Amino acid sequence: VKDEDAPEAVDLFRAVPWLYRGVDMRANAVAAMPFAIMRGETEIDTSEDYQNKVGWLPDPWRLLYLTEASLTVFSRAYWWNERNRVLQTAARYVQPETIEEEIKPAGLVGFWRTANGVRQFVPADRLTYFWRPDPWVELGPALSSPMLAAVASAGVIRNLDRFSAAFFQRGAIKATLLTVSGNPQASERERLKTWWNQLMTGVRNAFSNAVINADAVTPVVIGEGLAELSNATLTAEKRQDIAQAMGIPMTMMFSESARGLGGAGVAAEDKLTFYDGTIVPECRIIEAAINDQLLAPMGLRFAFRPETLDVYQEDESARSQAFTAYVNAGLPIEVVGPMLGVELPDGWDWDKIAKLKEEKAQAMADAMQGANNSNDPNADNTPQDNQPPDNSKAIEDLRRWRVKSNKRGKLAPFESDWIPVAIMEEVKAHGDNGWRDALDDVIVSYTGEEPEPLPVADTSEIVAALREATKAALNGHAPAE
């Protein structure tokens, strides 16, 4: 640290572990984010098996790490685009403090770079620039950054560390004032002062001593020791401020926080929050700059793939299990889907799915009507006036199929001479999450009876239990008994 009494942000970054850790965590998360380089809709290279197909980006992970670290510390980052007359040949990180933007009313003109004492103008297209957005800045980098927001709290922690270091440097002796009696000779006073200073080796101005008249030589403690400054609450508050400024949950930066806030379940949920609220938005800033300024003219596109991370795969797996549990409990999928936050493809909504279910139910009813008695070659299929077709045997088999499937908790294998083949195939096509609705819809179409309820005393109880199980599955810990 150049100036202990007035440390700069970079000094605190190097000296305060929590500040360094926060920057490092964000940069590592962005660098480890899966990505693909696309030409149209075709992948030409991916992080999973990177081959440097573009030819000028041999180590994208290092470049992404430095870019995010620079955005976190300085709110801006730069790549130098090395080119020959025709092609891009390299992209390398540029220290942002060497760059000064030249912005005029017409827009960005270019940059000035100062390196090794030489200041030179750089055209705008020679640098790929990454600027964090700022509501107080119309064009240019943000005036603040996550690290700058954490500097004040980091300074408090740094001063506590300095006090501890100075305390032990003077032999773990509290700051003390010596008083002496009478009017001793100057040589005696100097000898006493030298001895005391040697005892307190390494003392700084804050712990200097003076010799004054008194009835006797008496040490007077005027400072505090470690016991008085062991303020765990103060330190915890400042560490929490750093974590909040960095956009990192406490459970990820400090392991003891996970134990205090609920264990692995809370930590798993916080990890998802870290990516949703901090890393993925940061990746979008980087992705947009790379595409708009660098790759678009080449007909290429850089795309981060956060959905392939384990943290999102685990969340989707838990959501899928919860979805199946609710549907198997008899709740319609158009109710379960919105409740669990299931996202639908473009052009689809849950009302459309409910309408489609009704249309399919009617189609199955029509198919069953047309296939009435078609499996009995000796039956007289000529319609009789005012006599509806006899579907009783098919309905009986449908009910048996439903009971058998309910007992198994999934669509059971079933053979019937009376259920039309088209109806059976349609029910099977609904899969694990739709067979119950399909069977109910067919039976309702012919009997008018309500769907058969589950054999439980109170449906609200199982719904509540499933809701708790769903919450537990999504949070990663076991539900309470």
Q: 64-118, pLDDT tens digit by residue?
A: 999 999 999 999 999 999 998 889 999 999 999 999 999 999 999 999 999 999 9
pLDDT of residue 8: 62
Query: Is 405 inside a domain boundary?
Result: yes
For residues 167 and 195, the model is more confident at: 195
Pair 279, 150 in one domain: yes
In a domain, 245, yes or no: yes
Instruction: Give domain status of residue 336, yes or no.
Output: yes
Section 344-354 average pLDDT: 74
Instruction: Kindly state the average pLDDT of the residues 317-325.
Output: 67
196 lies in the same domain as 240: no
**411: which 2 tokens?**
């669509």
Determine the Cα–Cα distance for residues 364 and 441; give it in Å rounded to an integer.
8
The whole-angstrom separation of Cα 249 and Cα 265 is: 13
Token pair, residue 213, equals 């008249």
Whether residue 242 is found in the same domain as residue 390: no
211 lies in the same domain as 272: no
More confident residue, 74 or 340: 74
Confidence of residue 281 (pLDDT cuts 50, 70, 90): very high
* Rounded-to-integer distance, Cα 320 and Cα 455, Å: 24
**pLDDT score at 463:** 56
The two three-digit tokens of residue 82, written as one number: 């090395």
Q: Tokens 């098919």 belong to which residue?
A: 394
For residue 383, report the phi and psi dihedrals to the nearest 5 degrees.
-60, 140
Please give the residue range of the domain that contains residue 432. 313-475
**pTM of the prediction?**
0.58
Alpha-carbon distance values, 460 to 329, 345, 405, 479 (Å): 11, 31, 22, 18
Q: Which of 308, 341, 373 is the last residue of a domain?
A: 308
CA-to-CA dists, residue 292 to 34, 81, 354, 449, angstroms: 20, 14, 41, 60
242 and 129 both lie in a single domain:
yes
Query: Is residue 128 domain-shared with residue 56, that is, in the same domain?
Result: yes
Are residues 147 and 186 both part of a single domain? no
Position 374 in a domain: yes
Reply yes or no on whether the pLDDT at 308 is more than 80.
yes
Query: Model confidence at 245, in pLDDT bands (50, 70, 90)?
Result: confident
**Residue 42 belongs to a domain:** yes
Token digits for 476?
């990663």
Residue 157: Cβ within 10 Å count: 21
Number of other CB atoms surrounding residue 62 within 10 Å? 12
Q: How far apart are CA 373 and CA 392, in angstroms?
A: 10
**Residue 221 pLDDT:** 64
Same domain, 67 and 83: yes
Largest CA distance in the chain: 136
- Asked if residue 480 belongs to a domain, the reply is no
Integer Cα distance of 456 and 339 in angstroms: 22
Regarding whether 19 and 150 lie in a shared domain, the answer is: yes
Segment 185-194 mean pLDDT: 74
- 481 in a domain, yes or no? no
Choosing from 308, 333, 352, the residue where a domain stops is 308
Is the distance from CB of 245 to CB of 153 less than 8 angstroms?
yes
Q: How many domains does the chain have?
A: 3
- Per-residue confidence band for 443, with pLDDT thresholds at 50, 70 and 90: confident
Last residue of one domain, picked from the residues 289, 308, 327: 308
**Residues 84 and 14 reside in one and the same domain:** yes
Of residues 265 and 320, which shows the higher confidence score?
320
When pLDDT is averaged across residues 420-441 and rounded to a whole number, the result is 77
Instruction: Give pLDDT tens digits for 15-34.
Output: 677 788 889 999 999 999 99
Output the average pLDDT for the chain: 75
Mark whether 238 and 104 lie in a shared domain.
yes
Specify whether the CB–CB gap between 354 and 437 falls below 8 A: no
**Is residue 201 in a domain?**
yes
For the cut 60, the answer to whether the pLDDT of residue 349 exceeds it is yes
Q: Are residues 148 and 184 in the same domain?
A: no
